[in-house]
Amino acid sequence: MRPYFSFPFVIMAAVGLFLLLGLIFILVQVGLVTVAFAKLGMSPGQALLWLLFTLIGSGVNLPLYKTSRLVRRPVLRGQFYQFGTGAPLRMETETELTDQVVAVNVGGCVIPCLLSLYFLSNIGLEAGTLLAVAATGALCYALARPIPGKGIGIPVLLPPLGAALAALLMAPPEVSPQVAYIAGSIGTLLGADVLHLVTPKTKALLDAPMLSIGGAGTFDGIFLTGIIAVLLA
């Protein structure tokens, strides 16, 4: 199966990218992002590259497998414009049956996992890290909710708060920023997405054509976790 490129999402992400880069520039000036990624042993330039690749990757989903169910997706059949203005007047849509695909999002899953593995190679895998991931995962599992036609959604601020608290309580101070990032990223992916995908009760409610691990409703939470959790740890 080929990667899925969500072009409407990519366009929205591109607009968001310029807005976010402006915000990042301001944050860098006041030192917040610099401090956050300095705690992780990264330079401001590396931090900006990470954010850029994450945003670009948010529009790319790598398919893993197809589920055994057919779901409905909306399809645009016609669009009518107001005469003389060119403004859209109305749209006609209908639904068609399609295979449900489970995929991983590059920006919301692949990149955070690779960065987490990099930090683990530096600090080693300790019991405190596993406990922090488990605690964050349990919190995210309890908070996540199915969104009809989209996937799974989770509050944006609570996962990084939980990850930061878990890292402060369960990891040595010198590695708490890295543990906060790992717990926030891996814990959110496991608790919000993976566990719900394998839980029959929740899986039955997921009717989106594509279930993207680290995408759609959980991308924002995972994306912000890397910054907020480290700042708080």
Residues 61, 228, 189, 48: is their CA dihedral positive or negative? positive
Task: Say how many CA atoms lie within 13 Å of 213 toward its Cβ.
Answer: 26
Which residue from 162, 156, 168 is spatially nearest to 224, judged by alpha carbons?
156
**CA-to-CA distance for 120 and 22, rounded, in angstroms?**
31
Residue-level pLDDT, tens digit, the chain, 233 residues: 656 555 455 555 566 666 666 666 665 544 666 677 778 888 877 877 887 788 788 888 898 888 777 766 665 555 555 554 445 545 555 556 677 788 899 988 999 999 999 999 988 888 899 999 999 999 999 988 887 777 788 887 888 889 999 999 998 988 888 999 999 999 999 998 889 888 888 777 777 778 888 886 666 667 777 677 777 76
**Domain ranges in the chain?**
4-70+99-232
Kindly give the pairing relationship between strand 88-105 and strand 210-213.
parallel
Quote the DSSP letter at residue 83.
T
Pairwise CA distance, residues 23 & 207, whole Å: 35
pTM: 0.75
Contact 183, 163 (CB under 8 A): yes
Can you give the pLDDT at residue 30? 47
User: 172 by DSSP, 3-state: which?
Assistant: coil
How would you label 70-91 residue by residue, b for 16+ Cβ within 10 Å and e otherwise? ebeeeeeeeeeeeeeeeeeeee
In the DSSP assignment, the letter for residue 157 is: S
Ramachandran angles phi, psi of 116, nearest 5°: -65, -40
Pair 196, 202: CB distance under 8 Å:
yes
